[in-house]
Amino acid sequence: MEFKKIFDAIFKSKILLGIYEEVEKIHLESQKMFEESFESLIKNNDELAKRLIREDLEVNRLEIKIRKEILGYLAVNTAPDLNSALILVVTVSNYERIGDYAKGIARLALSYPSEFKENGYTKRISEVKNLILKEFETVLSAFKNQDLEKAKEAIEIYKRIRKIEDSIVADLNQEKKLKINTAITYALLSTYLRRTGAHLKNIATGILKPFPLIDFERQE
């Protein structure tokens, strides 16, 4: 099903429209958590990190609320749009996972021993962070405006993220000068960033493809 049809189905149903607006809220909350978790790490801000770990509950609360609303929509409609409902369920699940990775970065901030000093690794990590922020913006634009080209752009951004993360891991495998705890921090952080980008990519595939193909860039 083309996303245009899904978009039309959403706007024909007041219940689905309300759910659609809730999805934008969970997007913005997930993005805020991601940005602040990264800030807590690079600025060695333990208080911010602790607050973010607590705030992960807000993303969970929003996901539960949206699930209940989708269940209500399916219960009261004799001919509900199942494809639209299922895509919205998977979409919010991806945002919940992004919140989990933001919490993971915040926990990493609590265990990292010092400020995030600039070097070859941190420059690439910062580049990935900026790409993810661009991916957040692109995915939201695609979702709000039924923009298929923006969805494709988000997937291309993820491919760049994946390529940089691969280079970080490859270099860490050969690294002999870094302290063990620093190398572990870089490896975990690059993994959390890649997974965040991957979940945003998954949301973009839901704009481009029907429910069975969500999370896949192409059909194998």
pLDDT for residue 10: 55
Q: What's the CA gap between 181 and 202, in Å, rounded?
A: 31
Contacts of residue 214, defined as CB under 8 A and 6 or more positions apart, other chains included, come to 87, 90, 202, 205, 206
For residue 219, give the 3-state DSSP assignment.
coil
- pLDDT tens per residue across span 55-89: 778 888 888 988 888 888 888 877 777 877 888 88
Contact (Cβ atoms closer than 8 angstroms) between residue 220 and residue 151:
no
Alpha helices for the chain (secondary structure H): 3-12, 14-42, 46-76, 82-111, 120-145, 148-174, 180-208
Angle at 11 between CA 98 and CA 80, to 5 degrees: 85
Contact (Cβ atoms closer than 8 angstroms) between residue 151 and residue 139:
yes
pTM for the predicted model, two decimal places: 0.87
Average pLDDT over residues 143-150: 86
Share of the chain above pLDDT 70, in %: 86
Q: Does residue 2 have a pLDDT over 50? A: no
Q: CA torsion 18→23→26→30, rounded to 10°?
A: -170
Residue 62 CA, distance from chain mean position: 15
Which of the four pLDDT bands, split at 50, 70 and 90, describes residue 215?
low
Which residue shows structure tokens 């063990």?
180
Q: What's the CA gap between 93 and 178, in Å, rounded?
A: 36
Residue type, 157: I
The whole-chain average pLDDT of the chain stands at 86
Average pLDDT over residues 8-27: 73
Q: Does residue 5 have a pLDDT over 60? A: no
